[in-house]
Chain A
């Protein structure tokens, strides 16, 4: 019985460590994929916001498509929140910003001025995610 405990306890501790480690730290490849995903979402949001600002989109399409993009950005932000490294946290902040911008875009209705601002901000966020990806 003591022998089983002697083997089982360190094994359980090791498994716990591995499991926590797996949740807490994102590898370089996973981080790069997240960065590319955020860059893509921000760029797509910027394109959508630009079309909306120029009256080239419908209100419903802008609202619904921006929500799809927002949900993906938030999912990415949640993954990065516990990413471990400082780069993951910086990327997480960019994902947060993209998610918030897309939320505002989805609620922008026919506010052309706001849509123009969001077009610009999302383009900057896209560039920031791209820079972070290159620095990995």
Chain B
């Protein structure tokens, strides 16, 4: 019974924590531009994050060490350092976008000035991160993030053409602007396969002291949690396809997805959507700042983890604090968080091979994994995804330039 409860809570937390600002921006823009045509890309992305998160969790449970700890050991200092730098840049950009998102949603709820709300938001996130233990951080943001399920209700309420929705799950090539279509394919995959999620998941498994007995929980949580979380992405895209595409609305603001929930469900839909977005992006801000600190500490061999008091792991605590401060500094310049999101997602795509190759290598290494190394199925699917990741990593920047960031 206790294990069932643990699994259920883990799944709820994974659903609520699935969506971040990248998903909100790219899923809504994709729906408003191509209707249901890109739903299949979300499926591909979610299977990828399930495969690699499961590997990360298994590595952490079997070796009792998180992935980044093993990266340097397995691939050497030079390659490890390249991975570290790329991950930190992407983490910082993503953290900045999420903090900007927090401030915008607070502004849409309160009407107070944006820069004041950046400060308030960061102070709030720092205090929460400092005070709450790791498992409560996950739960608070994951559970309240479940308010985003309002988009699933909105998706039903707007009465989409279900035949068209079903057709959207069949991979195809658009009859519209193909370069823009490809840009959104890359963006949606990048939004689903974010590096910080796997680092955070893996470090979280060590924080929660996972062992071999937890391998089943790892598998179930990653498959069902992320799988159900994908429904939020589908919902965002369906709402945008029905409400925004026919009107020619190109969503460029974080309030636009919330406007979709409002148009479908009225005031209650709007408030639930804003609260859900606030906790989703707030949780992601904490995950990215922690992910940055985890990577640094694990790479340089510092004491790390929320299970230690800040005085017991001072460089780790200082690292996540600095991440928050730098990220807040970036959004304080006034640069649009939605634009930062687009750049952070595209740059994270470029850094994906550096993140996912070491995971694949370590998960397949009997010296670390013993009998829990990848089976044939995991290897085949892991390699197929790695080839896909390489392809999108190579094409991401050219597509962003050629399509003017998806504007055509």
Q: What is A's interface to B at a CB cutoff of 8 Å?
A: 33, 36-37, 39-40, 43-44, 46-48, 51, 55-58, 60-61, 63-65, 68-69, 72, 126, 130
Among B243, B253, B404, find the residue whose CB has the most chain A CB atoms closer than 10 A. Answer: B253
Q: Taking the nearest CB of chain A, how far is it from the CB of B43, in angstroms?
A: 28
B287 close to A (CB within 8 Å): no
Which range contains the number of B residues in contact with the other chain?
20 to 34
Residues of B within 8 A of A60 (CB): 108-111
B249 close to A (CB within 8 Å): yes
Residues of A within 8 A of B109 (CB): 60-61
B407 close to A (CB within 8 Å): yes
B365 close to A (CB within 8 Å): no
Residues of B within 8 A of A130 (CB): 248
Query: What are 10 A-B residue pairs whose CB atoms fall within 8 Å in the complex?
Result: A33-B407, A40-B250, A47-B247, A51-B259, A57-B270, A60-B110, A61-B255, A64-B107, A65-B255, A130-B248
A47 to B252: give the CA distance in the assembly, Å. 15
Pair B253/A63 contact, Cβ less than 8 Å = no
Residues of B within 8 A of A46 (CB): 247
Q: Taking the nearest CB of chain A, how far is it from the CB of B400, in angstroms?
A: 16
Q: A64-B111, A65-B108 are in contact. Are A43 and B259 (CB under 8 A)?
A: no
Pair B270/A47 contact, Cβ less than 8 Å = no
Pair A51/B248 contact, Cβ less than 8 Å = no
Pair A57/B253 contact, Cβ less than 8 Å = no
Given A65-B108, A69-B253, 14 more pairs with CB closer than 8 A: A36-B250, A37-B250, A40-B250, A40-B252, A48-B259, A56-B262, A57-B262, A57-B270, A58-B267, A60-B111, A61-B108, A64-B111, A68-B253, A130-B248
Q: A33-B407, A58-B267, A72-B252 are in contact. Are A64 and B247 (CB under 8 A)?
A: no
Q: A47-B243, A51-B262, A68-B255 are in contact. Are A61 and B248 (CB under 8 A)?
A: no
A126 to B263: give the CA distance in the assembly, Å. 18
Residues of B within 8 A of A36 (CB): 248, 250
B228-256, CB < 8 A from A: 243, 247-250, 252-253, 255-256
B266 close to A (CB within 8 Å): yes
Residues of A within 8 A of B153 (CB): none
B189 close to A (CB within 8 Å): no
B258 close to A (CB within 8 Å): yes
A55 to B270: give the CA distance in the assembly, Å. 12
